[in-house]
């Protein structure tokens, strides 16, 4: 059983692997491994596969075999999601929000997780439980980098991975903040390039994202 403190140490390490955490929606499991290989080759070793498609768990299993990569499961909503993600080979989890049942499941299954928060109250509640590394979601809809900077002033103990509306155009706004470890974005693996199997183009996008700094 993992403690919140241990979970934070591990999620912080994942977030520090690269400035951008790719947020991936995979419809075709045969594309999973080459996609992961392209992203890792481009300098983005931590990958979030969202549990939004029927093949997501299979995709996690395929990506987990890629050398140098760390694959997490996103959109964790229920304890069953946690158990399935862990069984599929996920090494970390990401959730849009948090509930006591979800956090308890993550701890019981030894799955370090980035729980979501969008307000100071939510961030404080997670911090009270021991989670000092959190996901800020939905980032742009919740006020963007200026809102996250404002939250950081009274709650500097919490570090964030903002996702939701983050793009190549505004990523540096988030990454320049002292309370941001990395940012999550889907632009590095657009659906049209995945469908076309254009792994070189995705590797190039990953390399560009990996070079971002605050």
Q: Could you tell me if 97 and 75 are in contact, meaning their C-beta atoms sit under 8 angstroms apart?
A: no
* pLDDT averaged per 10 residues in sequence order, the chain, 214 residues: 96 98 98 98 98 98 97 98 98 98 98 98 98 98 98 98 97 98 98 98 98 82
Number of domains in the chain: 1
Task: State the residue range of the domain holding 84.
Answer: 4-210
Encode pLDDT of 107-125 as tens digits.
999 999 999 999 999 999 9
Residue 96 structure tokens: 């849009």
Catalytic residue among 31, 37, 48, 86: 48
Predicted TM-score (pTM) of this structure? 0.96
- 164 — alpha (psi -120 to 50), left (phi > 0) or beta? left
Question: Is 169 considered catalytic here?
Answer: no
Encode pLDDT of 68-108 as tens digits.
999 999 999 999 999 999 999 999 999 999 999 999 999 99
**What burial letters (b/e) apply to 75-93, b meaning 16+ CB within 10 Å?**
bbeebebbebbbebebbbb
Q: Could you tell me if 188 and 20 are in contact, meaning their C-beta atoms sit under 8 angstroms apart?
A: yes
Task: Give the CATH number of the domain where residue 169 resides.
Answer: 3.20.20.70
Q: Measuring CA to CA, how many Å separate 95 from each of 4, 61, 91, 159, 171?
A: 15, 19, 14, 15, 20
Cα separation, 26 vs 48, in Å, equals: 11
Question: Is 140 considered catalytic here?
Answer: no
Cα separation, 31 vs 195, in Å, equals: 8
Catalytic residue among 37, 62, 107, 135: 135
- pLDDT for 213 equals 76
Query: Which residue in 104, 81, 131, 67 sits closest to 93, CA to CA?
Result: 81
């Amino acid at each position: 059983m993992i403690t919140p403190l241990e979970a934070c140490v591990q999620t912080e390490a994942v977030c520090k692997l690269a400035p951008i955490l790719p947020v991936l929606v995979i419809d075709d499991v045969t594309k999973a491994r080459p996609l992961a290989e392209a992203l890792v080759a481009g300098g983005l070793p931590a990958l979030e596969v969202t549990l939004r498609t029927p093949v997501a768990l299979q995709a996690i299993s395929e990506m987990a075999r890629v050398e140098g990569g760390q694959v997490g499961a996103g959109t964790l909503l229920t304890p069953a999601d946690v158990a399935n993600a862990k069984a599929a080979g996920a090494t970390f989890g990401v959730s849009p929000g948090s509930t006591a049942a979800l956090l308890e499941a993550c701890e019981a299954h030894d799955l370090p997780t980035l729980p979501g928060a969008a307000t100071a109250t939510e961030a404080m509640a997670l911090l009270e439980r021991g989670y000092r590394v959190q996901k800020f979601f939905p980032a742009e809809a919740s006020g963007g980098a200026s809102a996250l900077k404002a939250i950081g002033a009274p709650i500097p103990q919490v570090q964030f991975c903002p996702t939701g509306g983050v793009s190549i155009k505004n990523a540096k706004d988030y990454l320049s903040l002292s309370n941001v470890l990395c940012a999550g974005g889907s632009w590095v693996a657009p659906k049209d390039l995945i469908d076309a199997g254009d792994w070189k183009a995705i590797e190039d996008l990953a390399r560009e994202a990996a070079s971002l700094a605050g």
